[in-house]
Amino acid sequence: MRVVLLGTAAGGGFPQWNCWCPSCRVARHDPQAAKPRRQSSAAISADGRRWFLLNASPDVRDQLAELVPNTPTSIRHVPIEGVLLTDAELDHTLGLVLLREARHLPIFSTSAVCATLERDSRILPVTRAFCDVPVKELLLDTPQALPYRDGSPSGLSVEAFAVPAGPPRFAARDDFGHTVGMLLLDDDTGKMCAFVPACGGLTPSLLDRFAQADVLLFDGTFWTDDELIALGIGDRTARQMDHLPISGPEGSLEQLAALPCRHRIYTHINNTNPMLVEYSPECAAVRRAGLTIGVDGLEINV
């Protein structure tokens, strides 16, 4: 199984268009010291040619170029076999509309995510005006095969599981399963990747799940709980926004450092997070703990 990080920033990207926080300033003046990043998304493949997209960000057009290294022989070439959605947030689903030229775009999501896309954001009805968009329901805590667009087996499976988080702020209801993580399995090798871009807390059962994975892609949104408050640009803590901060007692760094995963990688990193600056003490702390700060284009062969 091949895993590619197509975007590693939270909503708004890095640097964010309207932000001049310390991290964004460095990114603008010295991009080598704070590499620009697109909005969070990844892709997996069993053969290196046909891919499943993990969330569809607003940057999807440029991100898909990472998956087509050679000039295709056909006039129209769709490198993705389907899109797996962890939630219905705009930064994870607006890209669906931008993929409408695919003509046939299978989506894999829980019923709660699908309902929000149907009735609240209306992203599914808009996309369906241009494209066939079958939705294959992901049942929680149930391994399911991922078929290719033509129905043939891909050799990959997925298991969705609920994580602590609130629903999108535009959602009319708080349906169970509105935010999930995913275990992605290579059926032939048994290798596994856990994809959890948004998570408000770590429980013993979640840590047990992650311990099974060879690769863990985890929520790295905020460094501290009061990050936005301290900068004077927000009035809610990280936990109030359903993101477990990285630092501090019971932060994600302390807990993930104890896991046996071969690769533990932070993704979905907010533009204000100081670890985005390569020479920062926060970046050094992550590396000392044995974790990786995700960067666009990072590829892992599992």
pLDDT of residue 180: 98
Check: CB of residue 197 under 8 Å from CB of residue 268.
yes
pLDDT at 182: 98
pLDDT tens readout for residues 8-18: 999 999 999 99
Buried/exposed 219-240: b ≥16 CB within 10 Å, e otherwise? bbbbbbbebbeeeeeeeebbee
> Which residues sit opposite 5 in a β-bridge?
42
User: How are strands ordered across the β-sheet holding 263-267?
Assistant: 144-147, 153-162, 180-186, 192-196, 215-219, 263-267, 292-293
Q: Kindly report the pTM of this predicted structure.
A: 0.97
pLDDT at 69 over 90: no
Q: How confident is the model at residue 74 (pLDDT cuts 50, 70, 90)?
A: confident
Torsion of CA 38, 41, 46, 50, to 10 degrees: -70
Q: What percent of the chain has pLDDT above 70?
A: 100
Number of CB atoms found within 10 A of residue 174's CB: 9
Categorize the per-residue pLDDT at 150 as very low, low, confident or very high, splitting at 50, 70 and 90. Answer: very high
| Residue pLDDT, tens place only, 188-227 | 999 999 999 999 999 999 999 999 999 999 999 999 999 9
70 has a pLDDT exceeding 80: no
Q: Tens digits of per-residue pLDDT, 114-146?
A: 999 999 999 999 999 999 999 999 999 999 999
Domain annotation for the chain: domains and CATH numbers: 2-301 (3.60.15.10)
Confidence band for 68, pLDDT divided at 50, 70 and 90: confident
Percent of the chain at pLDDT exceeding 90: 95
What per-residue confidence (pLDDT) applies to 20? 97
Whole-angstrom distance, CA of residue 140 vs CA of residue 103: 28
Checking if the pLDDT of 236 tops 90, the result is yes
Of 186, 197, 199, 194, the residue nearest 210 (C-alpha): 194
Query: Which residues, at least 6 apart from 60, have a Cβ–Cβ distance to it below 8 Å?
Result: 6, 41, 53, 95, 98, 99
What is the band of 37 on the pLDDT scale with cuts at 50, 70, 90? very high
How do residues 154-190 score in pLDDT, each as one tens digit?
999 999 999 999 999 999 999 999 999 999 999 999 9
Model confidence at 148, pLDDT cuts 50, 70, 90, reads very high
Query: What is the residue-wise DSSP string for 69-129?
Result: -S--SSSS---EEEEE-S---HHHHTHHHHTGGGSB--EEE-HHHHHHHHHTS-HHHHHHT
Eight-state DSSP code of residue 38: P
Is residue 216 within 8 A of residue 236, CB to CB? The reply is no
Torsion of CA 127, 133, 139, 145, to 10 degrees: -140
For residue 73, the model assigns a pLDDT of 79
Token digits for 120?
């609240």
Instruction: Determine the pLDDT at residue 103.
Output: 93
Measuring CA to CA, how many Å separate 221 from each of 10, 192, 218, 239?
7, 23, 9, 11
Task: Place 72 in a pLDDT band, splitting at 50, 70 and 90.
Answer: confident
Name residues whose C-beta falls within 8 Å of residue 46's C-beta, 6 or more positions apart in sequence. Answer: 1, 2, 154, 155, 156, 186, 188
- Say if residue 34's pLDDT is above 80: yes
Q: What is the CA radius of gyration of the chain?
A: 18
Q: Is a pLDDT exceeding 90 seen at residue 257? A: yes
